[in-house]
Amino acid sequence: MAAMNTNNLGTSTISSLSSAFLAPTSFNSRARSVPVRVKRIGVIKCVAAPQQEQTVYQTNVSRNANMAKLQAGYLFPEIARRRAAHLQKYPNAQVISLGIGDTTEPIPEVITSAMAKRCLGLSTLEGYSGYGAEQGEKLLRAAIASTFYSNLGIEEDDIFVSDGAKCDISRLQLLFGSNVKMAVQDPSYPAYVDSSVIMGQTGQFQKDVQKYGNIEYMRCTPENGFFPDLSTVARTDIIFFCSPNNPTGAAANRDQLTQLVKFAKENGSIIVFDSAYAMYMSDDNPRTIFEIPGAKEVAIETSSFSKYAGFTGVRLGWTVVPKQLLFSDGFPVAKDFNRIVCTCFNGASNIPQAGGLACLSPEGLKAMQEVIGFYKENTKIIVDTFNSLGFKVYGGANAPYVWVHFPGRSSWDVFSEILEKTHVVTTPGSGFGPGGEGFIRVSAFGHRKNVLEACRRFKELYR
């Protein structure tokens, strides 16, 4: 990604008119040119799109055909590439990123000081530790169980501490292997589909429908309240389900999750429930799938400290595989997952684990709630902005994402329009699946002044 500072607004003003802006595209006629304050920055070097070197020698190793099925780049590097290209075009632009969903606020000191202490301890004989338990430190596993799953029958040994939910999604795919079929919400966080493609679970990408063969896309739209009509969903082995949802921001209620668990049980499927945003929940919806009776026999849950404590760079998450969850031959899923973890992963780094433990102390929990509260205020500012402009806006209440509808428009066109005219990076909804077409996702992760400035520019553009 381009190395640049987006924090301080400069003083000069440019009009962001360009030939691309003037070109007869499908841009909305409501859109205006926005005066944007800029500051001069250094030369931008795009590292997201490495230059193709001339091939002088080729090995005899054939490319993994599943890799070749993947479409373009992974969504977020592609956005980083476009942002870098934009900066090359407008080197002085004050670009604001409300795109990839990376956290921006500092990690509370109660958490970093615990990590610093553990880190310094590594320089002492008493404090040194090498490889730890692959499943995570006992104390942290116990703290995760009691903080997030108290009275739900989830125990310390059901928890596997990891270096993040995304890594666990891939390890879960490794566990399931190539011969399973999976279902995803459409739209959904791209890692589920892409890891499925890489594992060889899918057919080719079908351009006409923008879907991979052999994946069941469960359409989630405003019309169905972003919960799929399960009566039309085919049976699959695995069902990835994320609530509160990235990207739509929608959260499933108790009744809907009860339906989902029942559906999985009737079909003998396994749900992989992604609760990476559970602490953002304001409404009285379940924070974990294990609040639903019977879920322990059909569900795995993956989660993360990334969006709670600003651990996107620190890296720490966990996955719950209940001992009650069995394969069709009666073998416990957790035993195989343990084998995967021991083979492919040597356990989460000890320093983040000290941080994770601090997160779950009373002071740490309070500090995390404050950070989450800050992002929730950002969300409200963004929701209010788009509402005031007359857009239909979804999400926001239970997740740090705002899902804005641009009916009849291509989401990449809207993404480009916003970037071109306001220098704000968003995420095109179609990057999350065909069901995201016509939407953009605006992330609430940003410094307050940047969120306010972005909203000012949105108002200029669409008023």
Ligand X SMILES: Cc1ncc(COP(=O)(O)O)c(C=O)c1O
Is 274 a binder of ligand X (CB under 6 A)? yes
Minimum CB–partner distance for residue 79 and ligand X (Å): 13
Dump strand ranges (E) for 191-340: 205-206, 211-212, 215-219, 238-242, 270-274, 299-304, 317-320
Minimum CB–partner distance for residue 238 and ligand X (Å): 15
Minimum CB–partner distance for residue 272 and ligand X (Å): 10
CB distance 45 to 2 below 8 Å: yes
Among 276, 300, 358, 414, binds ligand X (CB under 6 A): 276
Minimum CB–partner distance for residue 115 and ligand X (Å): 17
Among 4, 107, 161, 242, binds ligand X (CB under 6 A): 242
Report how far residue 267's alpha carbon sits from residue 271's, in angstroms, rounded to the nearest whole number: 11
For 107, half-sphere exposure in the C-beta direction (CA atoms, 13 angstrom radius) is 22
What CA–CA distances, in Å, run from 285 to 233, 253, 410?
A: 23, 5, 32
Among 258, 312, 349, 410, binds ligand X (CB under 6 A): 312
Is 246 a binder of ligand X (CB under 6 A)? yes
Is 441 a binder of ligand X (CB under 6 A)? no
Report how far residue 289's alpha carbon sits from residue 297's, in angstroms, rounded to the nearest whole number: 11
Minimum CB–partner distance for residue 388 and ligand X (Å): 27
Minimum CB–partner distance for residue 282 and ligand X (Å): 18
Is 304 a binder of ligand X (CB under 6 A)? yes
> What DSSP letter does each residue of 150-172 carry, written as one string?
TTTT--GGGEEEES-HHHHHHHH
Closer to ligand X at the Cβ: 242 or 357?
A: 242
Closer to ligand X at the Cβ: 306 or 430?
A: 306
User: Whose structure tokens read 């009849």?
Assistant: 408
CB distance 292 to 273 below 8 Å: no
| Footprint on residues 101-120 left by ligand X (CB under 6 A) | 101
Closer to ligand X at the Cβ: 269 or 275?
A: 275
> What do you get for the CA distance between the two ends of the chain, in Å?
32
Closer to ligand X at the Cβ: 176 or 273?
A: 273
Report how far residue 138's alpha carbon sits from residue 157's, in angstroms, rounded to the nearest whole number: 8
Minimum CB–partner distance for residue 159 and ligand X (Å): 15
Minimum CB–partner distance for residue 440 and ligand X (Å): 16
Closer to ligand X at the Cβ: 166 or 457?
A: 166
Closer to ligand X at the Cβ: 166 or 287?
A: 166
Minimum CB–partner distance for residue 193 and ligand X (Å): 12
For 209, half-sphere exposure in the C-beta direction (CA atoms, 13 angstrom radius) is 12
CB distance 72 to 49 below 8 Å: no
Minimum CB–partner distance for residue 302 and ligand X (Å): 7
Q: Across-strand partners of 97?
A: 425
For 412, half-sphere exposure in the C-beta direction (CA atoms, 13 angstrom radius) is 9
Is 438 a binder of ligand X (CB under 6 A)? no
| Footprint on residues 41-70 left by ligand X (CB under 6 A) | none
42: Cα separation from own chain's centroid: 30
| Footprint on residues 315-334 left by ligand X (CB under 6 A) | 317
Minimum CB–partner distance for residue 60 and ligand X (Å): 35
User: Whose structure tokens read 């963004």?
Assistant: 382
Closer to ligand X at the Cβ: 241 or 391?
A: 241
What CA–CA distances, in Å, run from 98 to 85, 135, 294, 444, 454?
A: 17, 34, 38, 7, 8
Count of residues that bind ligand X according to CB under 6 A: 13
Closer to ligand X at the Cβ: 21 or 374?
A: 374
Is 396 a binder of ligand X (CB under 6 A)? no
User: What is the dihedral angle through the alpha carbons of 441, 444, 446, 451, rounded to the nearest 10 degrees?
Assistant: 90
Collect all residues with Cβ–Cβ distance below 8 Å to 123 and sequence separation of at least 6.
Answer: none
| Footprint on residues 155-214 left by ligand X (CB under 6 A) | 164-166, 189
Closer to ligand X at the Cβ: 420 or 436?
A: 436
Closer to ligand X at the Cβ: 41 or 182?
A: 182
165-176 and 190-199 helices cross at what angle (nearest 10)? 30
Q: Which region, judged by CB under 6 A, interacts with ligand X, from 171-179, 231-239, 304-312, 343-351?
A: 304-312
Structure tokens at 206: 């079908």
Closer to ligand X at the Cβ: 277 or 391?
A: 277
Residues forming contacts to ligand X in the complex (CB under 6 A) are 101, 164-166, 189, 242, 246, 274, 276, 304, 306, 312, 317
